[in-house]
């Protein structure tokens, strides 16, 4: 099996090269009132959402083959502006961001592509895909007719045009159409803004545009734009009826497409939030199959959201908040999808495959590729190597008042705020206008409490400080909210003053801890003695892969840290993402493509316990469950 998968990886690389060199005849994609037309012939979109930036490139070909084998003919893909332009003018279209290569591979597998470039995409991504630096641009107001935003968005769309323009169907590529904004009717009604964005897209792309909104009157009327096809998401039957009732502009009417049919739903961290899935439930699976069967039988089109969700590697997850607590998304974006996080088909996958075969020519759906079993890794020890605070050098900045994460030029990770007490003070700690998003408070290096905004009423932490004491506040960005767009609310770290017992504290040192790379000194040669209520500690360890299981999907595994409280885990220098005992996610997906015979693990445990020896193990099947939060209010 290892040889077969190694061959597939090599062939994928060769195929990508050949696909880039292959020329395809220009085609056309249009529509009339009832049908999409591919090269003049009716075309029913049987689609599914799969975002390349949540999947390692080594697995793109396999995931696309799995899409074709379920019967899909079209892939819908969001693009993440924040990954393509992490700093103003600093573009990245390499690795997971090489979306042009993903689309070429899709075409090679016989799949068409629908482009969903944003600039706002929602998708439970950090700030809906917006780069964090937007919050620091003077005069910025996103998703409206605002010159700073339109200028930044135009730069992004123009760059996408250079990267992807040649992949449109009009130039022989797989891209059929492009989405204008995303569910804009859920946000606003600024038609001037939509028209400006549509003009940018049309300057760079020849294919037609469409809008995607929920199936309600305000959503559809707010998001629709003259001359742009309006489609819905959510429930097909009610949504299609709503589209034809509330969209009265004939230039926005055409064939019915459910741009996001929700198979399941998202997962968020919390003791009270179980894993969302329909796999294993005969009634729920039957309903999804029946809904999509009805759609195809009526001659309509759909895209399953998600067909394959993938992973929020590192700190890439977003959050959701209305007027209540923060819903922080898990590292896994499994989404209960037909193709699970590791690319294995579920019972939903096979039931949908059986249904789709009724609507396509016999024999046109390829066989489902074989997939090796995931690897099991025996338990291995993790040893405390260094304290996070000991690895900090000179402060990033010193100021009278705390400086936000974003103002420090940092997008993700942590900021350590440190104050040396000038006069005795005692009472409750008030952190600006609220922690953003989780603050651990220390006095002289000893943990005093946690303020966590995943709760409607976070804990209150009270301290007694004497002159010369050191107050430290470690603030973690748990993910910018994807559906709230006021800039001040998206800024992380501390925004405002810090007070104790009503006394405002001034003179702060800020240490940026983005952890985009691991600090030096974690080679395992040094050790750290964990104390009671200690600060965050790096642990290190290593594991060997079972013989014949590495460097390909036969080495895929899920690493679990059963006694860990909260933190981040790296394997061979790659940030696998956050773990948190509250669940529902209790293990981290580790793709076999990053593994070797011997593998190094680094774990940052935010709340180490002196009487707990941490260990990890690789399990072949995920376990989803919840635990009580030791830091709950």
Active site amino acids = 183, 260
Residues in a beta bridge with 417: 473, 510
Among all chains, which residue has been given the structure tokens 């992949």? 167
Cβ(558)–Cβ(588) under 8 Å? yes
Task: Work out whether the CA dihedral 289, 295, 296, 300 comes out positive or negative.
Answer: negative
Cβ(265)–Cβ(335) under 8 Å? yes
CB neighbours of 282 closer than 8 A, spacing ≥ 6? none
Residue 174, helix vs strand vs coil: coil
The percent helix, strand, coil of the chain (3-state, each to 5) is 25, 30, 45
Task: Work out whether the CA dihedral 283, 285, 291, 297 comes out positive or negative.
Answer: negative
User: What kind and span of H or E run contains 436?
Assistant: none
570: left (phi over 0), alpha (psi -120 to 50) or beta: beta
Q: Please provide residue 283's backbone torsions phi and psi, each rounded to the nearest 5 degrees.
A: -70, -45
Residue 520, helix vs strand vs coil: coil
- For 628, the token pair is 């009580």
Residue 209, helix vs strand vs coil: strand
Nearest to 84 by CA among 43, 46, 129: 129
Nearest to 119 by CA among 128, 110, 108, 109: 128
Among all chains, which residue has been given the structure tokens 């780069």? 131
Distances (CA, A) of 511 to 205, 415, 530: 44, 6, 22
Q: What is the DSSP letter of 407?
A: T
């Amino acid at each position: 099996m290892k040889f077969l998968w190694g061959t597939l990886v090599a062939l994928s690389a060769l195929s990508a090269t050949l696909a880039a060199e292959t020329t395809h005849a220009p085609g056309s994609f249009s529509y009339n009132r009832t049908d999409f037309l591919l090269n003049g012939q009716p075309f029913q979109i049987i689609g599914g959402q799969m975002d390349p930036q949540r999947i390692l490139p080594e697995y793109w070909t396999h995931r696309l083959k799995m899409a074709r084998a379920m019967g899909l003919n079209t892939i819908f893909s969001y693009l993440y502006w924040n990954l393509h332009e992490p700093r103003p003018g600093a573009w990245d279209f390499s690795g997971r961001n090489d979306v042009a290569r993903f689309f070429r591979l899709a075409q090679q597998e016989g799949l068409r592509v629908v482009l969903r470039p944003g600039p706002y995409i929602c998708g439970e991504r950090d700030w809906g895909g917006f780069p964090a630096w937007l919050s620091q641009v003077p005069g910025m107001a996103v998703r409206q007719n605002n010159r700073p935003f339109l200028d930044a968005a135009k730069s992004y769309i123009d760059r996408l045009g250079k990267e992807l323009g040649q992949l449109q169907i009009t130039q022989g590529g797989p891209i059929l159409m492009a989405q204008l904004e995303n569910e804009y009717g859920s946000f606003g009604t600024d038609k001037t803004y939509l028209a400006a964005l549509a003009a940018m897209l049309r300057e760079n792309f020849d294919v037609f545009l469409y809008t995607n909104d929920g199936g309600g009157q305000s959503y559809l009327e707010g998001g629709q734009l003259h001359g742009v096809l309006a489609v819905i998401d959510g429930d097909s039957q009610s949504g299609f009826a709503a589209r034809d009732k509330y969209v009265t502009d004939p230039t926005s009417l055409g064939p019915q497409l459910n741009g996001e049919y929700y198979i399941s739903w998202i997962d968020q961290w919390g003791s009270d939030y179980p894993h969302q899935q329909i796999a294993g439930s005969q009634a729920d699976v039957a309903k999804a199959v029946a809904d999509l069967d009805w759609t195809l039988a009526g001659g309509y089109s759909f895209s399953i959201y998600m067909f394959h969700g993938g992973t929020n590697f590192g700190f890439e997850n977003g959050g959701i908040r209305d007027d209540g607590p923060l819903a922080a998304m898990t590292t896994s974006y499994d989404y209960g999808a037909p193709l699970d996080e590791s690319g294995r088909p579920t019972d939903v996958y096979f039931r949908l495959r059986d249904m789709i075969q009724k609507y396509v020519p016999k024999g046109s759906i390829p066989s489902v590729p074989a997939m090796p079993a995931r690897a099991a890794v025996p338990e291995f020890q993790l040893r405390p190597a260094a304290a996070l605070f000991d690895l900090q050098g000179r402060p990033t900045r010193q100021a009278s008042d705390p400086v936000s994460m974003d103002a420090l030029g940092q997008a993700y990770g942590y900021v350590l705020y440190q104050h040396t007490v000038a006069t005795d003070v005692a009472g409750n700690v008030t952190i600006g206008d609220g922690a953003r998003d989780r603050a651990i408070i220390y006095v002289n290096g000893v943990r005093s409490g946690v303020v966590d905004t995943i709760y409607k009423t976070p804990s209150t932490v009270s301290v007694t400080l004497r002159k010369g004491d050191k107050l430290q506040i470690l603030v973690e960005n748990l993910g910018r909210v994807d559906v709230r767009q006021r800039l001040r609310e998206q800024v992380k770290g501390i925004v405002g003053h810090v007070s104790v017992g009503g006394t405002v504290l001034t003179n702060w040192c800020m240490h940026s801890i983005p952890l985009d790379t691991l600090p030096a000194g974690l080679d395992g040669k040094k050790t750290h003695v964990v104390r009671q209520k200690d600060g965050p500690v790096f642990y290190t360890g290593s594991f060997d892969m079972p013989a014949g299981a590495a460097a390909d999907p036969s080495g895929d595994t899920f690493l679990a840290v059963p006694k860990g409280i909260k933190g981040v885990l790296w394997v061979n220098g790659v940030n696998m993402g956050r773990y948190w005992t509250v669940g529902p996610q209790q293990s981290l997906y580790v793709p076999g493509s990053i593994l070797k015979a011997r593998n190094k693990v680094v774990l940052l445990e935010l709340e180490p316990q002196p009487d707990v020896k941490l260990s990890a193990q690789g399990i072949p099947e995920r376990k989803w469950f919840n635990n009580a939060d030791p830091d709950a209010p």
